[in-house]
């Protein structure tokens, strides 16, 4: 039995616009989760650890969480091909 690709089959690897759109959606989803879930947890962790003073972290948890959100928003708004 031979499996051949039908001539009208959709080739998803050639859809660079679609891939770019999924990349944007992925980055925006990560940013949303960061704002909705990670940032409140980071604020609570900073409250419990006195702003990170009780830990060996270089920066408070909130700063780390917001940097990740900013990176994800930046990735979503950056044109394709740039890093």
Per-residue pLDDT, 67: 94
CB neighbour list of residue 57: distance below 8 Å, 6 or more residues apart? 64
pLDDT in tens, 15-35: 455 566 778 888 888 889 989
Per-residue pLDDT, 24: 81
pLDDT in tens, 56-81: 889 999 999 999 999 988 888 876 65
Query: What residue ranges do the domains of the chain occupy?
Result: 35-83
Residue 6 has pLDDT above 90, yes or no: no
Mean pLDDT of 6-15: 51
Place of tokens 């044109």: 79
Instruction: Answer yes or no: pTM beyond 0.75.
Output: no
Measure CA of the first residue to CA of the last residue in the chain; give whole Å. 45
């Amino acid at each position: 039995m031979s499996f051949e690709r039908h001539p009208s089959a959709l080739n998803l690897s050639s859809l660079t616009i679609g891939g770019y759109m999924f990349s944007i959606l992925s980055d925006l989803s990560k940013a949303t989760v960061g704002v909705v879930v990670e940032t409140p947890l980071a604020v609570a962790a900073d409250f419990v650890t006195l702003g990170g003073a009780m830990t060996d972290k270089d920066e408070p948890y909130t700063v780390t969480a917001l940097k990740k959100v900013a990176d994800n928003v930046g990735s979503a708004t950056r044109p394709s091909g740039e890093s």
